[in-house]
Structure 1
């Protein structure tokens, strides 16, 4: 809606002063924080330490063209060509998605009243969701081939070309839109400055997108699931990896890339780069929202604030599903704001359908999307539509129709994922809602364990300020500019209605994050684009030179810090311009590298306590901590149901040997350090102890083990030492004074 004139007089100046004081105080507080994830008890690291580090090496850390200083690795522009195949595959997937989205939406809307950024966001949002649903369908049908994956996009491309030649102006419904009133043209110099400020971060995200996977969750299921499906040639239920039953919108892009490459490792890199590119979609969406409701400069400020946030870079190089969820949350909010602006019934219905499809896609990216997107956006559409139709005799009927349209569109996007689970497990939201739907391979004990690990540890209201502090200031990868200027922008909510709704959405996200999740920091990442829009809106708080100069200077300072910080290892391993062969070597764990290099070609390994297996180049059997222990299932007696798990006996040597032979197991790998971590956090079956493996040796089933890794015993906490010492046979793990054996490899005796 058009802006009104600024408040004149003392009140306006007072509000500006309050905003300045808040921004100044918050930034001072923010940069004085110690970083909890990067610090250790012996070596705390604060943001002031990072500033010092950047100041000591500014010509390298702040130079986006210098990626040659990777210690101990060959790095430089000569390795840029190694990235081209991955870039090509990522661009192909983006083109395939765009064709699908464009072909569908060009029949729904006359687009001349939409910004190019809005058109592109809607096309890509719908297209990515359609492409991933098609890859899922191909996988379930067992037809994972390049031709199968790309055929719909090729057809869609033809439809787009035909539509362009015929002119799409006669198709669909006319979208009504109006842009924010600006007193004069935007400051071109500032617009160019903001654009150039965003470019180093964009370049850093692109380079980081080809970083080989190094994060635990990514190597456990985000990429391991697609790898298993690619090798199997079809998408099936992986009963040993519960996470792969989640909606997997993001991961289907990685699977598609593996199919296009014909190789799971190269496909994983291309898939990561494709997902990293989704951050740019979020940035374009943020610009579109800022541009429409506030103006060009606020939109560009929001873009810079988003792409310069260390979390944006971090989730790009790691390939978390939060990247897609973040984009779909932002795109859904944009589409919803456009939908409620329509007075023409036909256009409102169709934009509501698109909004619902984008909201469902958010849930298809990650289950929490129902809480962070579907519910709040659905309520927003309901409230705004009811307000618009108040006094209209047909209002109730229209409201019902819009609700049905929104709900059906949500189901169209996420329904296939839920249907897959319903067919495979009997529970559409497996492993959630077990008490409602049950599940074939789940149990009350497993459900209790899951809930304990994924629920809020407490609901102490007095601790809320500390938890908000964790989000706003103490998170290692937060951007100080966001809360410094998003909070003052709340004073604009009465002048710009969309700002009020965005602020309410942020509040909803924070409340539900605190009340309904286990409060890990990446669960609130999806609010970052909304905070960026609010921070950009702060530009409109005053047209005074002092306020706007302070905002720009603060943005430049925060960007300099964030860019320098993102060039350090604290952001996570970033490949930069490193030789990709060397980068792959650096990200493969030493024990996994040894197994890859030394195991026979026909080896098949039972992994005990180990699920981070993406880099394995050998056959294996494993389970995650939330699945039943395969080792326990294969070796424990089944005739002692009333005996505590830890006290149950083992099957006979003949039974165990037959089971291992049936599954062609040649080796058993045990990761005691992971078992210790699980027992100190999520819980791990009491059945698995060192004594079990000593018994298997005595039975002649396993040969004496090879030590794969040792650890510092004295470096373990007292609680960890007590836990290990309580295990039956724990003395066999003590490899010497001050050390313990953390990983062992057994060879199965062949008879």
Structure 2
């Protein structure tokens, strides 16, 4: 019999191996090779992480303390995953409190750090209480151990986490605008995910902005970014911290999946399931940006930990599920259908009780649990609904404008929003989109495929599509393994129910973007982990090595796909021989401070920043560079009213009067993005009176051309 190292040696050994693997992954990703290419890029990654570490540590320690109070109050008898549930509940509480402070105009450096300090103090209380409980248990010869002890020995499968985590860290140290062509190089980050917290922090409070419709979304994670900005002193200083924070939420999601799978299988397969989630390319893409998807995955995965525990039928457990799915919906409204509805149905049908499958179902218990979860989720959403009602008269603005009111919008703006966010294609194309956007999509682990054609309507496409659907084949194989075991059938049925609701909502109520299906990764990874565990049982006598080899190959292939995606999704640069190729990653890492806009990664060197400090620039059809502009500017998103269009109509098309109105508004310069203007008119729509023709008439009145930027944009000075 092989001797197993004692825990005092086992955990440090795995911890050391994990650190080495993590650093090796960061090295390879930052250099693009094993041999040194630009060693300073590796140093820059570590420097960025160290700079962000104090703020991130403060937020997570504070969240852990807040979560301790909620866990003890609501689910004190939780059998498994107590630390993960504590962190999930605590982070939800931290973000909600930051959101409330922001709305009240009280979120600043002192309150942001104070919120973390209060949570950390509660964590200290927990440490003292558990030391006393441990001492009492030892005195009574009770070896139950402290409540938050590790519930299973570390598994060597944890090393698989180091690979995708290393990629996440490297990608998160590249500034928005340099990575991810599939996501328009972080356009949404620069135009609202971080731009809104920047404006709110400058204004002193969260507020509805008529020039940025996204300010009316729930903005739970954006309030968290505002808190990070307050802790740093500015959102501009917190860009990398925000991205690393979102990446840390991906790690929490993987931990939640691990603990949910742990209800059914041993530690090794459960840990492998978490690694599968982290290794999927869409998790790398969105997790390394200051988005909100990882909060949805994290709260969903942690909710599943509670959902598969017997406490989910008690009021406290059902309330925790409701609070977590409510937090997921506050992070991203579509989570109401991708997360809240399917998990409520699992509670209602009692398919969550895979561990007690022999007991006859009692529908009254399911109804009660679902009702409690519904009330708790509604309480989480209530402040957002009240806030929007006070701002616009419509609690869910900019949705349901036809029934509940359009706020400050006119019919044209309402129509453009509905067309841009409603059903996109006919039924015949929906199932083709299902294959292209999910089943055979690189973002969901499909390997290989054909080169993607260029498309104007849907730019969110990877370089290749139609590959071998590795993740979904693994999931299907897991289902086949598990349905033979009565104790696992309900787990499979529950995840099948979740996936069915998610697919139905995506197909019937969205404009079929691939990224919207990211919540399907949680049930997929959970099923994969259960399948690994079932394979371990079936092969334990003769080929016990088969399941870890299978899990490792799956994670390694997914990680390799993510690494390839990372290298190919950078800014394009033109070589001396005329070829246009992806920029090397080492040139983008920590490149936010590069002043030269023509340099690789020089996102901060926008021409508007070279204007005099007293200048004020109106941006026409462009909200992508907002985050990096250092001079006063006026902008609007693609779905908001155009100030220039309103001036043209008020002046009845008289170009001279338009110029006068611009000067009266303090505008000194005009930035026109010609390419974006053409794209918006061809897709989502734009102000009908702001066209190339009307702009040409204005230019002819004496607008001075300051600089041209290829054929895509021009900077003008008003006469």
* Normalised-by-shorter TM-score class: 0.7 to 0.9
Task: Find the partner of 1:533 among 526, 533, 537.
Answer: 526
Question: What is the deviation of 1:382?
Answer: 1.9
Give the equivalent residue in structure 2 for 1:88: 54
Counterpart of 1:675?
Answer: 677
Map Cα deviations across residues 358-396 of structure 1 (whole Å, 9 max, x no partner).
011111011101111121122221222999999999975
Q: Hey, what does 1:37 align to over in structure 2?
A: none
> Hey, what does 2:345 align to over in structure 1?
379
How far is the alpha carbon of 1:571 from its aligned partner?
7.2
Distance in 2 between residues matched to 1:278 and 1:481, nearest whole Å: 25
The answer on 1:107 being equivalent to 2:73 is yes
Structure 1 residue 620: Cα displacement: 0.6
**CA distance 1:582–1:564, shift in 2 (3 Å):** same
Instruction: Note the C-alpha offset of 1:704.
Output: 2.5
Residue from 120, 123, 128 that aligns with 2:91: 128
Secondary structure of the residue aligned to 2:627 is coil
**How is 1:403-442 mapped onto 2 (pairs within 5 angstroms)?**
403-442=370-409
Is 1:270 aligned to 2:241, yes or no?
yes
- Aligned equivalents of 2:118 and 2:344: distance in 1? 33
Structure 1 stretch 515-524 or stretch 320-329: which is displaced more? 320-329
Per-residue deviation at 1:232?
1.7
Alpha-carbon distance between aligned partners in 2 of 1:369 and 1:206, rounded to the nearest angstrom: 26
Pick the aligned partner of 2:209 from 224, 238, 254.
Answer: 238
Instruction: Give the deviation of 1:598 after TM superposition.
Output: 1.9
Please give the alpha-carbon distance, in whole angstroms, between the structure 2 residues aligned to 1:602 and 1:462. 51
Aligned to 1:50: none
Contact 1:329–1:372 (8 Å) recurs in 2:
no
Distance 1:524 1:691 in 2: 40
Q: Tell me: CA distance 1:123–1:552, structure 2 relative to 1, closer, same or farther (3 Å).
A: closer
Question: For 1:636, what is the secondary structure of its paired residue?
Answer: helix
CA drift of 1:276 comes to 0.9
Residues 615, 668 of structure 2: 8 Å contact kept: yes
What are the Cα deviations for residues 241-296 of structure 1, in whole angstroms up to 9, with x where unaligned?
Answer: 10121111121121111101112211122111111100100110111011112222
Shift in Å, 1:566: 4.9
Kept in 2, the 8 Å contact 1:201–1:307? The answer is yes
The gaps in structure 1 that reach 5 residues or longer are: 1-58, 171-184, 639-648, 712-741
Is 1:216 equivalent to 2:187 in the alignment?
Answer: yes
Aligned mate of 2:31, from 44, 61, 69 = 69
In the TM superposition, residue 403 of structure 1 has moved relative to its aligned partner by: 4.4
Matches within 5 A, 1:166-565: 166=129, 191-192=155-156, 194-214=157-177, 215-338=186-309, 341-342=310-311, 348-384=314-350, 396=364, 402-460=369-427, 464=431, 467-476=434-443, 478=445, 480-491=469-480, 492-493=482-483, 495=486, 496=488, 497-542=490-535, 543-544=538-539, 545=543, 548=547, 551-552=550-551, 554-555=553-554, 557-559=556-558, 561-562=560-561, 564-565=563-564
- Report if aligned partners of 1:218, 1:320 keep a CA contact under 8 Å in 2: yes
- Secondary structure in structure 2 of the residue aligned to 1:281: helix
Per-residue deviation, 1:67: 5.1
1:626 maps to which residue? 639
SS at match of 2:424: coil
Separation in 2, partners of 1:126, 1:694? 55
- Find the aligned partners of 1:421 and 1:104 in 2 and give their Cα distance: 27
SS at match of 1:683: coil
Q: Distance in 1 between matches of 2:269 and 2:32?
A: 36
Structure 1 range deviating more: 269-278 or 406-415: 406-415
Question: TM-score, normalised to structure 2's length?
Answer: 0.78
Rate the CA distance shift 1:601–1:663 in 2: closer, same or farther, 3 A. same
**Is 2:280–2:444's contact at 8 Å kept on the other side of the alignment?**
yes
Residues 256 and 264 of structure 1: CA distance in aligned 2, closer, same or farther (over 3 Å): same
Q: Compute the RMSD of aligned alpha carbons.
A: 3.6
Deviation at 1:558, TM superposition (A): 1.2
Between the aligned partners of 1:408 and 1:476, the Cα distance in structure 2 is 35
Q: 2:101 aligns with which of 133, 138, 163?
A: 138
Q: Distance in 2 between matches of 1:160 and 1:61?
A: 30
Contact 2:168 2:287 in 1 (8 A): yes
When residues 232 and 703 of structure 1 are mapped into structure 2, their CA distance, relative to the original with a 3 A threshold, is: same
Aligned mates of 1:386, 1:594 — CA distance in 2: 53
Shift of 1:342: 3.8
Show CA shifts across 1:690-709 (max 9, x none).
3333433555xx53323421
Higher radius of gyration, 1 or 2: 1
Shift of 1:60: 14
Q: Across the two proteins, how many residue pairs are aligned to each other?
A: 622
SS of 2:262 mapped into structure 1: helix
Q: CA, structure 1 residues 505+584, in 2 after alignment: closer, same or farther (shift >3 Å)? A: farther
Q: CA deviation at 1:352?
A: 0.5
Counterpart of 2:13?
A: none
Distance 1:578 1:389, change over 3 A: closer
2:704 and 2:718 in contact (8 A); partners too: no
> In the aligned structure 2, how far is the partner of 1:307 from the partner of 1:295?
19
CA displacement, residues 443-492 of structure 1 (integer Å, 9 cap, x when unaligned):
33322222222223234257526623541223355255421210122221
Is the alpha carbon distance of 1:291 and 1:403 closer, same or farther for their aligned partners in structure 2, counting shifts above 3 Å? closer
- Check whether the contact 1:603–1:667 (CA below 8 A) recurs between aligned residues: yes
Deviation for aligned residue 1:413: 1.9
**Pair 1:84–1:160, CA change in 2 (3 A):** closer
Q: 1:615–1:589: structure 2 CA closer, same or farther, 3 Å change rule?
A: farther
Q: Superposition pairs for residues 573-612 of structure 1, below 5 Å?
A: 580-581=590-591, 593-612=605-624
Partner of 1:148: 111
Contact 1:254 1:272 in 2 (8 A): no
Unaligned ranges ≥5, structure 2: 1-20, 134-150, 178-185, 447-468, 572-582
Does the 8 Å CA contact 1:325/1:366 hold for their aligned counterparts? yes
Cα deviation, residue 577, structure 1: 9.2
* DSSP 3-state at the match of 2:704: coil
Residue 489 of structure 1 aligns to a residue in which SS? helix
TM-score, reference length from structure 1: 0.75
Q: 1:664 aligns to what?
A: 666
Q: Partner of 1:650 in structure 2? A: 653
CA distance in 1, matches of 2:584, 2:171: 5
The separation in 2 between residues aligned to 1:556 and 1:235, in whole angstroms, is 41
